[in-house]
Amino acid sequence: MQGRATGTGGMLRRVIPSTAPVLFVSNGTAEDLIGARLAGLLTRRVRYSPLVGEGRAYAALSDATRVGRVLRLPSGGFPFGSLDNLRADLRAGLVGESLGQWTDATRGASETGTVVVVGDAYALMVGTVAARMRRLPLVHVQPLLSAHYLDGLGLRGALRELNALGANRPMPYELRLARGADAVFVRDAATERYYRQRGVAARFAGSFAMDVLSVPERDLRLPAGRPVLALLPGSRDDHRESLPLMLRAAALLPEVTPVVAWPHIWDAVTLPGGWTLEHHGDAEAMARGEGTSVTLVRRAFGAVARAADIAIGTSGTANEQLAGLGVPVISFATRGPQYTAGFARRQGRLLGASLSVVGASAPELAAQVRALLGDPSRQARAALAGLTRIGPAGALPVIAAEIERLALSPLAPHSKGTRR
């Protein structure tokens, strides 16, 4: 059923059918997961336009339809993480295919009642065009920017991270777009204050990262009596470099129980030289080498996260989730595509004392694990920093209720492109 236009004070607005689906526009693995969890709380059908990858998280929903083309980027969605990332993505058709996605999203909005953007300024631009051309309500969920990224950055730091300028702070055009949205939700209280000081009526309703953290999927059957060391190589290709180093560090720590939260297929496991991998079914494997055995588990991140006493991670969201549980996290930079030196610095500013960034060597990692485990006061500071900076869960039900309200509310007329 098509919506029709009615006039109010000489302005046209669209009357939306009460059964119209919601269009989600998101651009990244974590963003897709947040969007899919949010969509699962709605009472209406869902369309989704993933701007990076296939949006597999949405595919698990029973009544979700993908619209538009699929853009597979070698960088995994981090074209500005490094010059190599950008070159590879440009060769993969970044510009042409991205422009096509704008058209796809606008067409996808034609039968929907609300547009929900989960992502950064680029996703917000795409979603804003789709919403405005179809005169639809617009909700922006911004899970990436944090005012904490500016903590101690300074001019020198900003110049060193010019490629991440828009990731460290919202650009003026993003703030302007956000002012035109019907609702804006941000990731922490500090960012809510930052946005409000700049004229955006943003809300912090809880941590998106903690909202999508799964409950323990199963009993890991880990031996008692030793601290559990969670190894988090992440969902990006950084794992090819970081997992072998994590395993070598674990071999230097006989006093802990290491377990890898593995998000890929077993064939993707990269081992240090001389190590072997034994499959124990589809969900568990054992890596052996240097006198050590390390368990790898699939589809059990929630169980690993809640069992951990300390973690080594080269991941974005997973590191934040462990910190949000009060678990100290140790990290090191890789050659990318995601967890580069710049990314590690930025995450260090975000997580404060809950994250320790060290050199990429097994002895340094092992030494840092021992130092943390042997210092209860430092563990307490790390736990407090993670709990306060990430914050509690609870945002997604609030956002879902706001989407339902907007989907049933008459759309106010536009004024110079800004919704009042």
Q: What is the pLDDT of residues 78-106, one digit of tens each?
A: 665 666 776 766 666 566 666 666 677 77
Residue 222 placed within a domain: no
Same domain, 303 and 339: yes
Residues 332 and 206 in one domain: no
Per DSSP, which regions of 233-328 are E strands? 257-261, 276-279, 284-289, 292-297, 310-313
Q: What is the pLDDT of residue 72?
A: 67
**Phi, psi dihedrals of residue 47, rounded to the nearest 5°:** -115, 150
Domain co-membership, 55 together with 184: yes
For tokens 């710049």, the residue is 342
Judgement on whether residues 207 and 297 belong to the same structural domain of the protein: no
On whether both 180 and 296 belong to a single domain, the answer is no
Domain co-membership, 201 together with 244? no
Is residue 197 domain-shared with residue 252, that is, in the same domain?
A: no
The CATH number assigned to the domain holding 278 equals: 3.40.50.2000
Per-residue pLDDT of the chain (420 residues; tens, 9 = 90+): 344 443 323 334 455 556 789 999 998 888 999 999 999 999 989 999 998 888 889 988 988 988 876 666 666 556 656 667 767 666 665 666 666 666 777 777 777 889 999 999 989 999 999 998 888 999 999 999 999 998 877 766 666 766 667 777 888 999 999 999 999 999 999 999 999 999 999 999 999 999 999 999 999 999 889 999 999 999 889 999 999 999 999 999 999 999 999 999 999 999 999 999 999 999 999 999 999 999 999 999 999 999 999 999 999 999 999 999 999 999 999 998 889 999 999 999 999 999 999 999 999 999 999 999 999 999 999 999 999 999 999 999 999 999 999 987 755 444 333 343
Is 217 part of any domain? no
Residue 96: inside a domain, yes or no?
yes
Whole-number pLDDT of residue 74? 67
Residue 336 within any structural domain of the chain: yes
> Is the peptide bond preceding residue 337 cis, with omega within 30 degrees of 0?
yes
**Residue 298 sits in the same domain as residue 319:** yes
Q: How many distinct structural domains can be found in the chain?
A: 2
pLDDT at 17: 57
- Asked if residue 190 is part of any domain, the answer here is yes
- The runs of H, that is alpha helices, within 40-188 are 56-59, 83-91, 94-108, 121-134, 154-160, 165-168, 172-179
For residue 218, being part of any structural domain is answered with no
Sign of the four-CA dihedral 289, 293, 296, 301 = negative
DSSP secondary structure string, 182-249?
SEEEESSHHHHHHHHHTT--EE--S-HHHHTPPPP-S---PPSSS-EEEEE--SSTTHHHHHHHHHHH
The per-residue pLDDT for range 291-337, each reduced to its tens digit, is 999 999 999 999 999 999 999 999 999 999 999 999 999 999 999 88
> Do 48 and 101 fall into the same domain?
yes
Measure the CA–CA gap between 78 and 61, rounded to whole angstroms. 26
Confidence (pLDDT) at 100: 66
Examine the domain organization and report whether 245 and 303 are in the same domain: yes
Tell me: do 248 and 192 sit in the same domain: no
Could you tell me if 165 and 135 lie in one domain?
Answer: yes
- What letter would DSSP give residue 267? G
Q: Which two tokens stand for residue 39?
A: 């969509």
Reading phi first (left if > 0) and then psi (alpha if -120 to 50, else beta), residue 81 is in: alpha
In a domain, 19, yes or no: yes
- pTM summary value: 0.84
Domain assignment of residue 270, given as a range: 228-390
- pLDDT at residue 92, rounded to an integer: 60
